[in-house]
Amino acid sequence: MIRFRTVSILATAAAVASMGPTAASAQDVLKIGFAGALTGYLAPYDQPTQQGLELAIDEINKAGGIDGKIKIELTTRDVRSETAQSAVVAQELVDMGINVMIAPCDVDPAVAVGQIAQAANIPTIAPCASTPTLPGIAGPFTFANYTADNLQGTVLADFALEQGYKNALILISRDTPYTEKLPLYFKQVFEAKGGQVPATLEFKMGQQDFSAEVTRIKELNPAPDVIMTAAYEPDFPAFIKQLRSSGINTPVLGSDGIDSPTTLALGEIAEGVVFTNAGFPSEGGPLAKFNAAFTAHFGEEPTSVYPATAYDVIKSIEAAVKATGGNLDGQALRDAIDNLENVPVATGTLTYKGRERVPLRVVALNRIVAGEKTHVADVTPKAADVPAP
Partner 1 sequence: MDLFLQQVVNALSLGGTYALLALGLAVVFSVLGLINFAHGELMTLTGYAIFFALAAGLPYPVALVLGVLVATASAVVMERVAFRPLRNSNATVMLLSSFAVAAMLHVLFQNLISARPKAIPAPQFLMRNVEVLGLQIGAVQLVSIAVTAISLLGLTLFLRRSTLGIATRAAASDFNITRLMGINANLVISTAFAISGLLAGIAALLWLFQRGSVDPLMGFLPVLKAFIAAVLGGLGSLSGAVVGGLLLGFIEVGLRAYLPDGMQAYREAIGLTIVIAVLFFYPSGLVPRREAVR
Name the site residues for partner 1 (rule: CB under 8 A).
Answer: 3, 38-39, 41, 43-44, 46-48, 174, 199-202, 204, 206-209, 211-213, 215-216, 218-219, 233-234, 237-238, 241-242, 244-247, 260-262, 264-269, 303-304
Neighbours of 131 (CB within 10 A): 26
Q: Which of residues 81 and 118 has its CB atom nearest to partner 1 in the complex?
A: 81
Backbone angles phi, psi at 142, to 5 degrees: -105, 135
Using DSSP bridges, classify how beta strands 252-254 and 226-229 pair: parallel, antiparallel or unpaired. parallel
Residue closer to partner 1, measured from CB, 39 or 351:
39
- Residue 142 parent element (H or E): strand 142-144
- Nearest approach, Cβ of residue 57 and partner 1 (Å): 20
Give whichever of 207 and 339 is closer to partner 1, judged by the CB atom. Answer: 207
Residue 201 CB, shortest distance to partner 1, in Å, is 8
Give the contacts of 351 (CB within 8 A, at least 6 positions apart): 340, 341, 342, 343, 359, 360, 361
- Beta bridge partners, 71, equal 29
Contact 317, 67 (CB under 8 A): no
Closer to partner 1 by Cβ: residue 57 or 105: 105
Name the residue nearer to partner 1 (CB basis): 170 or 340.
170
What's 302's DSSP letter? Answer: -
Min CB(268)–partner 1 separation in Å: 6
In the complex with partner 1, the residue whose CB is nearer, 166 or 241, is 241
The nearest distance, CB 209 to partner 1, in angstroms, is 4
Q: Rank residues 46 and 312 by Cβ distance to partner 1 and give the closer one.
A: 46
Helix or strand run (H / E) with residue 254:
strand 252-254
C-beta of 282: minimal distance to partner 1 in Å? 23
Instruction: Compute the least distance from the CB of residue 342 to partner 1, in Å.
Output: 31
Taking the C-alpha atoms of residue 276 and residue 147, their distance in angstroms, rounded to an integer, is 9
Smallest separation (angstroms) from partner 1 to the CB of 63? 29
Residue 212: CB atoms within 10 Å:
11
What does DSSP say about strands 252-254 and 274-277: parallel, antiparallel, or unpaired?
Answer: parallel
Distance in angstroms (rounded) separating the CA atoms of residues 306 and 318: 18
Whether residue 118 contacts residue 101, with contact meaning beta carbons closer than 8 Å, is answered with no
